Chain A
Amino acid sequence: MIYPTVGSMPYLLLEIITAFIFSSLLLGLHRKVIARVQGRPGPPIVQHLLHTFKFYIKELTIPKTASMPLYIAIVMAMDGVWLLALIIGPILAGPYTILIMCYAVHKVSEHGIGLASGSPYTKMGSTRAVLSATAEMPLVVAPALVFFKTHTLILGGIMSYQMVNGSLFWQFPLAALATFVLVLSKTPYNPFGIVWGKDIISGHKTEHFGVIRGCIMMGEILGFYVLLWCFLTIFFGGIVVTPLDYIVAMTGVTIFLGFICALSPMVAPYHSVMIQWIVALLALVNVIFV
């Protein structure tokens, strides 16, 4: 049997499909955990995957107020950005800086998705996307600390450093906490999820139906996988090594995230930013360990 070589197109495609299916199952598990904690039976774990595919056969309705072709192009851009992040990060273990840039562009695309439809709810969601972007300090703090310690921002190099010197979690526990809060803020139904808060219907996604909603969900699924992978690789690279380790660790973190999301209410927009800032500033205390 011929296996595709690493870096070839079939190999990349196989990895992308595997990550997509696994991450959508994780998000299904996340919903299940929330439901069980709240005393409900909850949907089956495969529901999130089915939900994504379901949107592909639903009718696409484009609002009259939508600014075309941005309305569709910006969603494609978001999917492309997360695909790039998936290839550069989990698949090739390349530069961490490109992942940060992907993340920044993701925020811009979230803003654009909200603006493109012309609805006041989506505009409110896009405004909150910009506001929440100010809370992404851990995205800068953590790599800076990691760089001064490991002298590299190539993910493969960071992994190699941890194989020799042990996980960075033991050296930067507060930076790990700040990054965990960042991962939490990107999980559905989280206390900091002001962008898609139910007080503004579905936030920036309110006016996106059918195929477009399916594409947005595809991007979010890939994004969740990339963020989880980054968190585990950067801080637990000495413990989480094999694919089986990643499966177990990602499942464990998802269950933990589910507990947090189930038990905490959504905070107000300014409080959300303020709490994340405090955690990020706490992470700076770890500078003394560099």
Chain B
Amino acid sequence: MAIITTIPIIFGIVVNIPLVISIAILTFFVPISTYYFGLVLMARAKSKKEEEERKKITFTGY
């Protein structure tokens, strides 16, 4: 979803489109793509933390 919601913005950067369409794309897709990218970042940070927890050598006692 993060990639899909970014496609219209990239399309607008690459192709010269009218101002009204640019405004519509930006106001609709920037918040949504920010949200989905946030979810991706959150998932990455979570999996990294879990990986660190898993690799951590814990003292199991005698």
Residues of A within 8 A of B (CB): 7-10, 12-13, 16, 55-60, 72, 75-76, 79-81, 83-84, 87-88, 210-212, 214-215, 218-219
Contact = CB atoms under 8 A, between A and B. Distances in A.
A59 B49 CA distance: 12
A181 B48 CA distance: 46
A134 to B, nearest CB: 27
B35 A83 contact: no
A57 B45 contact: yes
Nearest to A211: B38
A84 B20 CA distance: 11
B17 A9 contact: yes
Nearest to B11: A9
A17 B38 CA distance: 17
Nearest to A213: B38
Interface in B1-47: 9, 12-13, 16-17, 19, 22-23, 25-28, 30-32, 34-35, 37-39, 41-42, 44-46
Contacts of A219: 31
Contacts of A10: 13
B33 to A, nearest CB: 10
**Chain B at the A interface: SS class:** helix
Contact of A210 (B17, B25, B32, B38): B38
Contact of B30 (A58, A72, A79, A210): A79
A69 B47 CA distance: 26
Given A9-B9, A9-B13, A215-B34, A59 B42 contact: yes
Contacts of A8: 16, 22
Contact of B32 (A56, A57, A76, A212): A76
9 contacts: A9-B22, A12-B22, A16-B30, A59-B42, A60-B42, A76-B31, A88-B23, A212-B35, A218-B31
Interface residues of B, number: 25
Contacts of B16: 8
Interface of B: 9, 12-13, 16-17, 19, 22-23, 25-28, 30-32, 34-35, 37-39, 41-42, 44-46
Given A10-B13, A12-B23, A87-B23, 12 more contacts: A9-B9, A9-B17, A16-B30, A57-B42, A57-B45, A75-B31, A80-B27, A80-B30, A83-B26, A84-B27, A215-B31, A219-B31
A58 B42 CA distance: 6
Contact of B38 (A9, A16, A56, A80): A56
B49 to A, nearest CB: 10
Given A7-B22, A9-B12, A83 B38 contact: no
Nearest to B38: A211
A214 B42 CA distance: 11
